[in-house]
Amino acid sequence: MVPRVASTALSPVAEIVTPGEAWRCAEAYAAAHPGCEVLVGSGDSMLPLYADRTVLVVCRERMSALQGGMTVVFTGDQGCPVAHALVEKTPRGWLAMGVGNSEPDRTLVRYDNFIGVVVKAYAPVARGGLVARAGVMAAALNADD
């Protein structure tokens, strides 16, 4: 059996911002786009795309508009929201899985448990944090080219 891999080709990359900016930016985007809401991700199943506590803007879409590679939010088998990437459309619903997971979710994404599509993401990183320093180092390395 070939292992499944979750593509995130149609998922937004998280913008690196300070913790205060993450919520502010997400709320501003959601306010300007009716039908959107702001959620905070929890856990590491979407690493390296989204780290724990990434602030997500989720907008409701038609099920017919969903495509593999989109990150969606749906109610999982334990009744909690789950943000995972769509892998494959089946006759009974969409298979989804976390980027860092080795198996797809047991719960299919269907009309009755679908919350929305992640359209923006903000990764809150304190100034001087590891991600921020990595960005400065990358910029310094590129300046030498």
- Answer whether 13's CB lies under 8 Å from 121's CB: yes
DSSP 10: T
Report the b/e string of 49-61 with b at 16+ CB within 10 A: bbbeebbbbbbeb
The Cα 105–Cα 127 span in angstroms is 35
pTM, 2 dp: 0.84
> Residue 32: helix, strand or coil by DSSP?
helix
Residue 86 sits at the vertex; the CA angle it makes with 99 and 24, to the nearest 5 degrees, is 75
Indicate the pLDDT class of residue 144, thresholds 50, 70 and 90: very low
Residue 119 sits at the vertex; the CA angle it makes with 114 and 124, to the nearest 5 degrees, is 110
Separation of CA 30 from chain center: 15
Indicate the pLDDT class of residue 129, thresholds 50, 70 and 90: low
Enter the tokens of residue 45.
């199943």
Indicate the pLDDT class of residue 126, thresholds 50, 70 and 90: confident
The Cα 52–Cα 41 span in angstroms is 6
User: Which domains are assigned to the chain?
Assistant: 15-143 (2.10.109.10)
Tell me the pairing of strands 36-40 and 55-59. Answer: antiparallel
Range 28-34 average pLDDT: 97
Enter the tokens of residue 109.
């994404």
The Cα 139–Cα 17 span in angstroms is 16
